[in-house]
């Protein structure tokens, strides 16, 4: 598959911009390193498709689809995986938040009891 040279340059620039943004976000403490890995991998895979478009052709041949359809398919699966990952993270956060809130309520109850020992 032929990709025009200026398109490849654009993809390359995009990847480097993405990597730059991620590094800056980590530096500013706004992005956890754990999630940075996902985004760095994303940049890397875009970069690979950019400099080696035949990898896409290879996948297209395996799944027997037009390369554009393959591109959409790959992106779609990738996005689905990311969304699933985020849902898992949110669920875990939710559970921890719930437990924390319950512990706080419990501690507050105990504290009030200690403060007024005559209050049954």
Partner 1 sequence: MGEILSKKTLIIIPAYNEEGSVARVIENIRRYVPEADILVVNDGSRDRTAREARESGAMVMTLPYNMGIGSAVQSGFLFAKEKGYHFAVQVDGDGQHPPSEITKLLSALDNGVDLAIGSRFVQQTEYRPTLTRSLGIKIFSFLVSLIVGKKIYDTTSGFRAASRKAVLLLTETYPHDYPEV
Q: Residue numbers of the site for partner 1 (CB under 8 A)?
A: 94, 98, 101-106, 108-109, 120
One DSSP character per residue, 50-110 reads HH-THHHHHHHHHHT--HHHHHHHHHHHHHHHHHHHHHHHHHHHHHHHHHHHHHHHHHHHH
Q: Looking at beta carbons only, is 75 or 87 nearer to partner 1?
A: 87
Q: Looking at beta carbons only, is 76 or 109 nearer to partner 1?
A: 109
Torsion sign (Cα): 64, 68, 74, 76: negative
Least distance in Å: CB of 98 to partner 1?
Answer: 5
Least distance in Å: CB of 89 to partner 1?
Answer: 17
Q: Looking at beta carbons only, is 52 or 94 nearer to partner 1?
A: 94
Least distance in Å: CB of 83 to partner 1?
Answer: 20
């Amino acid at each position: 598959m032929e990709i025009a040279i200026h398109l490849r340059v654009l993809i390359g620039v995009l990847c480097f911009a993405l990597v730059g943004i991620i590094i800056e976000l980590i530096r500013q403490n706004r992005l956890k390193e754990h999630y940075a890995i996902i985004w760095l991998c994303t940049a890397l895979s875009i970069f690979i498709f950019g400099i080696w478009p035949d990898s896409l052709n290879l996948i297209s041949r395996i799944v027997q689809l037009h390369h554009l359809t393959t591109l959409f398919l790959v992106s779609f699966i990738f996005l689905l995986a990311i969304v699933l990952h985020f849902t898992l993270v949110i669920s875990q956060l939710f559970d921890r938040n719930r437990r924390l809130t319950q512990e706080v309520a419990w501690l507050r109850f105990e504290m009030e009891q200690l403060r007024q020992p005559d209050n049954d």
